[in-house]
Structure 1
Amino acid sequence: MQTESISARNISCLLILSILCGTVISGSTTVGQDFLIAVFFAGMLFLPLIYIYSRICSLFPGKNLYDIIQVLFGKKLSFMLILLMSCYALIVSALVLRNFVEFTVVIALQNTPRIPLMIVLAVVAAYLAQSGPRILGRWSIIICVLIIGNVVFTILLALDTISIANLQPMLNHSPQDIAANAFIFGSIAFGETVLAMTIFGSLKRGESPYKAYFAGIIGGIFVLIFILMRNLLILGPEMIQIVKFASYMAARIIHFGSFFERIESLISFNLILLGLTKIALCLTAASLGIAKLLKIEDFTKLSLPVCLLVLALCSLIFKNMFEMFDFAKIYGFLAVPFQLLIPLVIWLTAEIKIRKKQSV
């Protein structure tokens, strides 16, 4: 049973970090200087979906996604839907964990086995998830401030390195390429925020789910635009297409005298913090769902067992980094049932049942 409360501001910060984590590491923006157009199209495509998420949560204050499913559907159907969303949370946890393990191995610890790194990152994230939504929300505010401060700091240091000419030529990619990238980008940045619905049952009474969701999404878009713009102005469109971890590579170029050097280490640390936050959110969503299926009141008791499932998935899901980036190109299509179809069914069912009650 959820007794902790979390403010709309905390959830907004958690959503900002979720958006940044999904896009900065995965390399989902592949259209160079046309990324602003891709972000705009992604927003146009996915903001209606964010409204659906917010609407569902506002119709059932004090209830999380799984509670809402049980209220709306019969025993068998609700069991199936909760199982599907829990499996999706497990898969996203494994994907994010593997992304950051590959990042760590490729960038800093080339000769380190992946399994120990997986265990360390997963255990820390599991501890964060086990601490509950309130602690996760407070953690998110601190990390969000650190990330935004880091972005501003690196942009200021890079003023003598950036080249405005890297923004040209605009519309260098076909509309089909931009639209395809917008869909992939949106599914990773915005679509995965469907898992945040699992903690809205802890939202403080009287606070608006719309405010929490849209403040987080809009804030995440603005911070992400600054990050992508910084990377593009430093590296250029050709380099952006080649490198896999653009933020890290852009930071390696930044130098400010002999004092501010090795800024990429700061970037690496911040990215790891992003990853831990996103994994903790996904572990919370998975633990809540499995606890609901097993009729366990305290979902935090399942954080460690769920963490072990994620570790098993993470070690099997990809063979190498190249498979990881190739998978990102098709991920959006595989995520449609969880990000669109299931929430759409929940929303329509909720609207119909509530209107029937009001008309009686």
Structure 2
Amino acid sequence: MTILVTGGAGFIGGNFVLDWLARHDETLVNLDALTYAGNLETLKSVQAHPGHVFVHGDILDSALLDQLLARHQPRAVIHFAAESHVDRSIHGPMAFIQTNIIGTFQLLESARRYWQGLEARRQQDFRFLHVSTDEVYGSLAADDAPFSERHPQQPNSPYSASKASSDHLVRAWHHTYGLPVLTTNCSNNYGPYHFPEKLIPLVILNALAGEPLPIYGDGLQVRDWLFVSDHCSAVRRVLEAGRAGETYNVGGCNEKTNLEVVRTICSLLDGLRPRADGRSYAEQIRFVSDRPGHDRRYAIDAGKLERELGWRPAETFDSGIRKTIEWYLANAEWTAHVRDGSYRDWVSKQYG
């Protein structure tokens, strides 16, 4: 048996690959284009694993997709591959349209052709699992109920609009062609191997380097934080028992403001790796101009996933953020290699 994973050298996909290979004997074919956020060092521990087949390629390449599906005959496709940073989508939306919309279309079409050629039992068992985001739902007011699967999609950034578009394509391929799809919409992930342009790894590494800790606007934007290993377990559970055609929201049950998150990181670092001068890392916090169209609050209602499939997150924010910081402290070589010239250019452009 085999599964095909797209984007398996990225943050969430990479963690999923590592978790899967630690738990299953099933072969995993890992397709990744190795863009700036794809990092083979994340997969270093499974480089020689007999169940891991890495393919350097793009989901925009339909001929390659057809070839991989025909050769490896997977029972499932798990689609992580995406451009995912809101800030980058504001400065350069075209890449998000290409990968998140056109790429998903190409993958759906290849999967449909492959699935239609399977014998009846394998058609019934096949699944196409599309990993998406809570940002497709838009923004919530402070007293609004969390996003459920029935919440209308109201994306506010080029990134979230491209992901909403891909969600609609996946839904349409199920209702029009019968392709057995599953969709998950997750809240903000954090944890090991996170590329340091996102808030939590950026703050950890900037703090250790003695650099400013930039916070957009007043820092009171609220996000629901999901430890990445919990997200991986939810994806595995949805793949195992989710109903074809259904959407499942995945949340960490941890609503925090950005300012709370940054202050928590500073407090933990004060104890785990104190500054040489004995002062708090919180002194490095700097408020910067807010980004355009910044959503105020995201919150996930993951009740459907718990009721139907029995899933709940294992980590609290306190336990997950401590594990995350300890991982970055123990893996300085990984972080040094990703913080090369191209990353510094991006941080300079974005934060001045």
Question: TM-score surpassing 0.5?
Answer: no
Higher strand share: 2
Q: What range describes the TM-score normalised by the shorter chain of this pair?
A: under 0.3
The structure whose RCO (Cα within 8 Å, separation 6+) is larger is 1
Q: Structure 2-normalised TM-score?
A: 0.26
Higher helix share: 1
Q: Structure 1-normalised TM-score?
A: 0.26
